[in-house]
Chain A
Amino acid sequence: MKPNQRNLVLIAILALALGLRLFNLGAGDLTTDEAKTALGVAFPHSFLLPQISVISQKIFGFNEMAARLPFALLGTGAVWLMFIFGRLVKDDKFGLLTAGLLAVLPGNVILSRSAYLDISLVFIWLLLLIAWLIWERQKSLAGWLTLFLIILIAPFLKIQAVYLFFVLFLYLVYQRRGRFWRDERFWLMAVGWLPFLFYFLSQPQQLYDMKSYITKQIGDASSLVSFLSNLWQANGILLVASLGGLGFFVWRAGIKKQVQSDADKLMGGFFLLIGLILFFTPNNLYYYVMPDMAVVYFSAYFITSFKKRTRLVLLTAVCLIINLGLIFTNPNINFACSNDSLGYFWQNNQREINSLISNGRPVFLDTGLGFTGKWYILQTTYKTDYFVNWRKKNPLAPAWLVLTKTNYEENYRQFEVWRDYESVKIIKVLPALK
């Protein structure tokens, strides 16, 4: 492929990715987690990233669009990195195919369009993999320093970035036939961990938050039944495709003895990791294991295994059409499809909330901050979306939001009382300074 031709195709893919991520971006209120990001609250698992949303809002104004913008750009950046990764492990065409598939992958598009921090994980993982492979091939001082700095900073951005360290460790074990300690990168990873380790030790409140966070994530003991049911419930297509990828890897490595490329080994480790995480965190799996790049990698591998050009083009077109269809029927993207203006956090909980209100009981919602929100909703409103619309028309009528600190225990205490409906849109509320 000629460089000019390649660049044109890449620009077209990036433009498509950016368009899908920016279209109607400000539509819909921020969900609870998004609001935390927009406020710049340090999550127990991410310390630096929420600040990019804050900076964006200082530049573009305090609105939903500005809060989500950096993550849409990070998602587009991940598409570009996917191209570099694909080109690194195979060739230009493979790079373009992987970038194109990631650009239209529904899960990735939806995630990029929200102010969730998770999209950065795909970005960081790809960055780390690229730096890892470039050092392996070129052994330059600049490559070494880049790899080191990424290892150093990655856990601060999103703690789940350390999962990839496990994959890279498996890769070293596989590549060095067990003598992983002879590779400098093993020691680089060990040293690169230290700043994060000491940072965490110096933050007792972070440790405290992390403890309640992990309790929430891991939940009850795993069993095969819960594993399978969660697999089905959480994010079907992505995860099934990932586990299919593991089967594909085992088949190629074990039976056909065909695994030669570095990327194959890395992805094999990645799928093993996904399986382990699925098993040990059955409560909230898709949250952690955004296997977008692995799914894209194996989709591209599968598509390019067809030698006939017509089949290859046909398969790519089918992929594109299905994905675009899924994207544009999603209420979070095409806002006209949505019935109310509250984001999917509310839509998911709507049925449960309605039943609670009809019983005249308070509603508890997880704010994700280590305490649970306790909502008294007036009997006259009955529905939370009606509640908000009603509240907009009657701003002075009494309504209460009581946040209670529970840490997932029964004995909650009153936390704070707000009288403003805009607590629903936390981004618009200025905290009372004491």
Chain B
Amino acid sequence: MNKKNMNNTGKNKIIRWLIVFFFTLIFCSPSLIKIYNLRYLYFSKLIQSQSISLITDLREQKGWSATDLDLFGITGDGSVKQFGFYYHYNHPAVISAKQMIITGLPVKK
């Protein structure tokens, strides 16, 4: 059996794919956790529009450079939700990351 065929045996194939799935899971997991934290966003159009308007408002309030806004989580029971944001100013000389929680308007179901 030459070298080329050895690499195509079933066992090698399984090992290759196990490595692939392992790395994919590692790379996906932060996003999956964040998707879970933002889960309300994907089921309600009202929460979607509320978060988009909050993003645009925050950009206006926090200034031109605060473009890297990050909506990291939506929490709260019932109709009132809290939107958690990270934002930071972009400049190579400045590291300025801040966090703020905004309580949204009541959402009618």
Majority DSSP secondary structure for residues of B touching A: helix
A391-419 vs B, CB cutoff 8 Å, 1 = contact: the mask equals 00000000000010100000001011010
Residue of chain B at shortest CB distance from A431: B65
Report which of B23, B31, B66, B92 forms a contact with A148, defined as CB distance below 8 A. B23
Q: Taking A54-B92, A194-B28, A202-B38 as contacts, is the C-beta distance between A432 and B63 under 8 angstroms?
A: yes
Decide: B20 and A413 in contact? CB cutoff 8 A. no
A433/B96 in contact, CB under 8 A: yes
Contact between B28 and A40, CB atoms less than 8 A apart? no
A369: interface (CB < 8 Å): yes
1/0 contact trace for B1-45 toward A, CB 8 Å? 000100110001101100111011001101110110010010000
Nearest A residue (CB) for B33:
A202
Residue in chain A with minimal CB distance to B15: A141
A162 touches B (CB below 8 Å): no
Contact B34 A202 (CB under 8 A): yes
Do A194 and B91 touch (CB < 8 A)?
Answer: no
With A and B bound together, what is the CA distance between A139 and B35 in angstroms? 36
- Complex CA distance for A43 and B101, rounded to whole angstroms: 24
Q: Does B69 contact A (CB under 8 A)?
A: yes
Tell me which residues across on chain A come within 8 A of B67, comparing CB atoms.
41-42, 369
B27 contacts A195, C-beta separation under 8 Å: yes
In the assembled complex, the Cα of A343 lies from the Cα of B23 at a distance in Å of 43
- Bound-state Cα–Cα, A363 to B35, Å: 41
**CB pair A205 B70 closer than 8 Å:** yes
B58-101 contacts to A, CB under 8 A, are 59-71, 89-94, 96
CB of B52 within 8 Å of the partner chain: yes
Q: For B20, B38, B48, B63, which residue has the most chain A Cβ atoms within 10 angstroms? A: B20
Collect the chain A residues with CB atoms within 8 Å of residue B21's CB. Answer: 191
What is the size category of the interface that chain A forms with chain B? 35 or more
With contacts A416-B63, A431-B63 taken as known, whether A205 is within 8 angstroms of B90 at the C-beta atoms is no
Asked whether any CB of chain B lies closer than 8 Å to the CB of A225, the reply is no
Number of interface residues of B (CB under 8 A): 46
Q: How far apart are the CA atoms of A204 and B41 in the complex, in Å?
A: 9
For residue A431, which residues in chain B have a CB less than 8 angstroms away from its CB? 63-66, 89-91, 94
Q: Which of A157-200 contact B (CB under 8 A)?
A: 184, 188, 191-192, 194-195, 198-199
A39 at the interface (CB under 8 A from B): yes
- Give chain B nearest CB distance to A370 CB in angstroms: 8
Q: Point out the residues of chain A lying under 8 angstroms from B16, CB to CB.
A: 141, 144, 184
The listed residue (B23, B51, B56, B92) touching A40 by CB distance below 8 A is B92
Chain A residues in 8 Å Cβ range of B8: 139
- Bound-state CA distance A145–B89 (Å) is 37
In this assembly, does B46 line the interface, its C-beta being within 8 Å of a C-beta of chain A?
A: no
Interchain CA distance A152-B21 in the complex, whole Å: 12
Assess the A430–B55 pair: CB atoms within 8 A. no
Cβ-defined contact, A42 with B64, below 8 A: no
CA distance A229 to B15 in the complex (A): 52
Interface flag for A99 (CB, 8 Å): no
Interface string of A109-129 (1 = CB under 8 A from B): 000000000000000000000
Whether B93 lies near A430 (C-beta < 8 A) is yes
Interface centre among B12, B48, B69, B90 (most CB of A within 10 A): B90
A214 interface hit (Cβ, 8 Å): no
| Contact A403:B64 (CB < 8 A) given known A140-B7, A204-B55 | yes
Contact yes or no, B27 A433, CB < 8 A: no
B52 touches A204 (CB 8 A): yes
**Most A Cβ at <10 Å: residue of B38, B51, B69:** B69
- Chain A residues closer than 8 Å to B41, beta-carbon distance: 204
Asked whether A415 lies within 8 Å of B94 as measured between CB atoms, the reply is no
Q: Contacts A198-B31, A204-B38, A432-B63 hold; do A41 and B19 have CB atoms under 8 A apart?
A: no
B91 touches A39 (CB 8 A): yes
A208 within 8 A of B: yes
Determine if B89 and A198 form an interchain contact, defined as CB atoms under 8 angstroms apart.
no
The distance from the CB of B37 to the nearest CB of chain A, in whole angstroms, is 9
Interchain CB contact under 8 A, B19 and A145: yes
B38 surroundings in chain A (CB, below 8 A): 202, 204
Task: Let me know if A198 and B20 touch, CB within 8 A.
Answer: no
* CA distance in complex: A139, B104 (Å): 54
17 examples of A-B residue contacts, CB within 8 angstroms = A40-B92, A42-B68, A141-B15, A145-B19, A148-B19, A195-B31, A198-B31, A198-B35, A203-B70, A204-B38, A369-B67, A403-B64, A405-B60, A415-B64, A431-B64, A431-B89, A431-B94
The 5 closest A-B pairs by CB, nearest first: A195-B27, A198-B31, A431-B65, A202-B34, A39-B90
